[in-house]
Chain A
């Protein structure tokens, strides 16, 4: 058998300052034409490992032991000049966020062919021809015209395709893909994943595919390696990992990625209360400056729903659907220009600052980005205490106890009181955010994509937490998400939004199990399932549904 294309032997990488081990004695190999997935939570070292195939270490990291051989080249020992020669030609990188990877002031085509042109192996004309045929292959419409644009002038999905084209330009034997679809909308993800799989096959490239999403990876990988805390937990062929895993951690990962089927949809009996806790009627929102007459740019067309105590209503949609806009309108962060929001039958003012102080605490919102939701200079205790001090419902002597209670409610140890956000993981930060919301003793909890930035395992535990809080405290929960699986497990009712309009609405059971609108069906078809054949089926089903939605739509 010929030597593997990529051979990692006993690799150890540590952090320069603290000496913390990032990669712990890992050995892996990759044959030509194979697709090896590196899967793990954030902090598992998967990106660091993937970058070593390019001979690149992020600043602050040091190579302590082991070797990385790419087609016989020792990547860890090679000098910069030699590495530059190898990159692009032998191994190429496809980044997660294409928007961050492209120079905003250079035309896309120029960036794609840049290295090819410079290396002298191709003339400029031939390089551009090659690029354009790849653009076509990847499904980019009007490749010549589109290639002339700047990054901000094309959509996210198109940008990601350019990224892939850039990687394939010199037909390298190895393509390193770092979560290439994670930043895309769910429906776009399917298309791009499909295209990527075809391209990899047609160009006979091998690929290292980094991801935290097992379902996504199942579609494209021939082998899967599971990483945790810098260590290799398990590696094997895709079918084996998915259906006969040997390690408990792998089993946990699979459990949290189970996608959704009709069986996982929650159904609770609705309590016979007559008056809804939260009633939203005919709300319309615009971001135009308030002035005379009707606003021009409407972010949210008419939306209405009712929420009981202990119930969950979910808003589903992709970016730009208006779901967050509606959530913020209910929270009072952006006043609607029409419609009413009623709490326990009483109408609330549009803007939170116009609401009574007594009402202000009753609706609390938790945001998506845990990093920007907590003041980095405040300890957890201080953050929570401020809420208690401000609302004053709890007597001063009992506040410390209350803080401990709150931390227990979100399943964090009491010792976390003295921690700062930079000492917390993403999931822990979200728990603190929840605790802060609970400190205000709300009746309605609004969760605005709170799990979107978290790994599947962590997200699953947060969802469980929200569910148990709903149960024990009798909260009404507004759950904003693009994740159908999460919504299916949690929500009683669902509202599906697209481009600021509500396209379908009803109980979770009916909307998700038997969707009527084409868009809802499209969303449902875009949720990856843990079967290797899912992708091809989904791609063709998507194509049909897209045509049903708008016949001349170009690919995302």
Chain B
């Protein structure tokens, strides 16, 4: 009799997995307690020197107005990560339900929504962002909304593909033959199967969202001063590069670290599940 132990299989936990998990946990923590761990007020002018080098008082130096870069960096964390998280959550709620529904229903509903999604996907995201932001003005809500719509299309494709694989299985036929309704089929039969791959997609898509929102801010169409997310911080301190200041690099690096950690986490998790126990 075959009995595959689910949790007890000893596998080496790769370094990458642990490292990325720690980084993400740290970032989440910083975002949550930001107001309490900042050394200075992010708006406070602590020095007359702009783009000053790191000192005891300002561990990363000062920005283009003489404010503490570290504090501004920490203060922007909740905004950056929060917006990306909210947008991705919204994208998944919409994309997953539409995608799974389209897979289950098929027919003309599937055809119509798929064509609409194709049209959305054919528009370059950043251009759509620019146009809509120019129209409606840059506010946190609009940014999150654009990001959500643009990525919902991609999520739709993924959810639909996953759903299609499952819908063909006999146990779905059995349930449909019983006369089970849409709700049961979607939530009890299909969702448990697709939860894991969709969660992976969530993490990766959140990394896209962070990059996208930061790019919009970098172009000047993201959150407006005095609020700033990391992309905005890069933009304001860009001139410092000419003078050799690293002020613009730190927020860009923060974005990179978040994005890389999310991707590495998903990659190492999916590798683990591939090399699962063999018969």
Contact = CB atoms under 8 A, between A and B. Distances in A.
A–B contact (CB under 8 angstroms): yes
A18 B188 CA distance: 31
Contacts of B178: 360-361, 387, 390-391, 440
A375 B175 CA distance: 10
Interface stretch (B4-12, B31-39, B54-62): B4-12
Interface of A: 15-18, 22, 43, 58-61, 331-333, 352-353, 357, 360-361, 365, 367, 369, 372-378, 386-387, 390-391, 422-425, 436, 440
Contact of A436 (B174, B179, B188, B279): B174
Contact of B11 (A17, A58, A378, A440): A17
Interface of B: 1-5, 9-11, 169-171, 173-174, 176-180, 188-189, 192-193, 275-279
26 contacts: A15-B278, A15-B279, A17-B10, A17-B277, A17-B278, A18-B9, A43-B279, A58-B278, A60-B277, A352-B179, A360-B177, A360-B179, A361-B178, A365-B174, A367-B174, A372-B170, A372-B171, A375-B171, A376-B193, A386-B188, A390-B178, A391-B178, A423-B2, A424-B2, A425-B2, A440-B178
Contacts of B1: 425
A440 B175 CA distance: 12
B9 A331 contact: no
Contacts of B11: 17
Contacts of B278: 15-17, 58-61
Most central of B3, B174, B179, B275 by chain A CB within 10 Å: B174
A360 B175 CA distance: 12
Nearest to B181: A390
B169 A372 contact: yes
Contact of B170 (A369, A391, A424): A369
Nearest to B278: A60
Contact of B173 (A58, A333, A390): A333
Nearest to A375: B171
A422 B4 contact: yes
Given A17-B11, A43-B279, A331-B177, 10 more contacts: A60-B275, A61-B278, A360-B178, A372-B169, A377-B192, A377-B193, A386-B188, A423-B2, A423-B3, A425-B1
B234 to A, nearest CB: 44
A375 B184 CA distance: 13
Contacts of A424: 2
| For the complex of A and B, 4 pairs with smallest distance between CB atoms | A60-B278, A377-B192, A373-B170, A372-B170
Contacts of B180: 390
A454 to B, nearest CB: 15
Contacts of B5: 18
A508 B56 CA distance: 95
A374 B171 contact: yes
Contacts of B171: 372-375
